[in-house]
A and B are shown apart, each in its own frame.
Chain A
Amino acid sequence: MDSDRDDVFSKIQNVLSDALGVDTEEVVSDATLQGDLGAESIDFLDIVFRLEKAFSIKIPRGELFPDDILNNPEYLDGDRITASGLVKLKEALPHTDLTEFEKSPDVSKMADLFTVDTILKYVEGRLAAA
């Protein structure tokens, strides 16, 4: 089991490089998956699949990328995420600062929250708990 942080990050870089067709040099910690690295919604699924294989873990639906928020009418009010949706989002992204996003919680901007670091923290958390 990998405990070396650099090794984990390097594996994540390879996953994103393979899934998104970008050079590993572009996969920096604060790069957003959608904005900076060009991820489409189907790519998020590809990323989850590759992470599962790379780290021998099973990632339950919505645990890494809380897309169930987008599909649940309780969490959406038109184009914006509701208060209960924001609570769900905070649970899903415990290490992400949501203060800016909360000011204008547009669904379209939700993808900007997912950075390479989001994945790193999630994977580290899973490996530590194993």
Chain B
Amino acid sequence: MKFAFIDAITELTPGERIVAVKAVTLAEDYFADHFPTFPVLPGVLMLQAMVESAGWLVRHTLDFAPIVILLREARNVTYKSFVRPGQLLRLEVTCRRLSESDSDFSGIGYCDRMEVVKGRFSLRHVSVTDQERQGRSTADRIVKEARARFALFLRRRDGVPCAVVDAPSQDSLT
């Protein structure tokens, strides 16, 4: 099963900011356990949605050089409200620092304009230069699939393509 916790990207400023959304529906498997009489989106999945949003910003900004993006650290992630099936979670994620090998972000999640989660996190990027030769074809396939999925995300819910702001100059990347 694909680990995919965002559904669409609605805004993207390379190296700076990304806004993505995740629809929440009772058909998602974990609600059976979390919780049977009161289904709510697990807090760590709200964090995962922010992490994935940040990951797509990293991939796009670095032209898909990183093959895999892993969460290294999360700090001061506070949960203010429950997110229930039938809601749309909007993640606004801001890049604080970005290099080839890692990045720092802060993010806020909203439901119906109300803050439900906020926090800071750092990612580590695993790129093709790090890999053994036998990993190459797997790496290429992962990148190809990532590019295809990113293209699908770049739409608003009403079908209008997401506007991607022009990439910043190299100077603005640390």
Contacts and interface: CB of A to CB of B under 8 A. Distances in A.
- The short answer to whether A and B are in direct contact, CB under 8 Å, is yes
B80 A40 contact: yes
A43 B75 CA distance: 12
Nearest to B115: A40
Task: Bin chain A's interface residue count.
Answer: under 10
Contacts of B76: 19-21, 43
B80 A21 contact: no
Contacts of B78: 40, 42-43
A38 B78 CA distance: 11
Contacts of B119: 21
A27 to B, nearest CB: 14
A49 to B, nearest CB: 13
B125 interface: no
A23 to B, nearest CB: 11
- Chain B at the A interface: mostly helix, strand, loop or mixed? strand
Nearest to B79: A42
A21 B78 CA distance: 11
Interface in A31-47: 38, 40, 42-43
Interface string A39-70: 01011000000000000000000000000000
B146 to A, nearest CB: 29
A34 to B, nearest CB: 12
A6 to B, nearest CB: 26
A40 B120 CA distance: 14
A120 B53 CA distance: 39
A89 to B, nearest CB: 25
A21 B76 CA distance: 6
B110 to A, nearest CB: 15
B79 to A, nearest CB: 8
B108 to A, nearest CB: 10
Interface string A1-32: 00000000000000000011100000000000
B6 to A, nearest CB: 23
Nearest to B80: A40
Q: Which of A20, A38, A40 has the most CB of B within 10 A?
A: A40
Contacts of B118: 38
A129 B164 CA distance: 60
Contacts of B79: 42
Given A21-B76, A40-B78, A42-B79, 11 more contacts: A19-B76, A20-B76, A21-B75, A21-B106, A21-B119, A21-B120, A38-B118, A40-B80, A42-B78, A43-B76, A43-B78
Interface of A: 19-21, 38, 40, 42-43
5 contacts: A19-B76, A21-B75, A21-B76, A40-B80, A43-B76
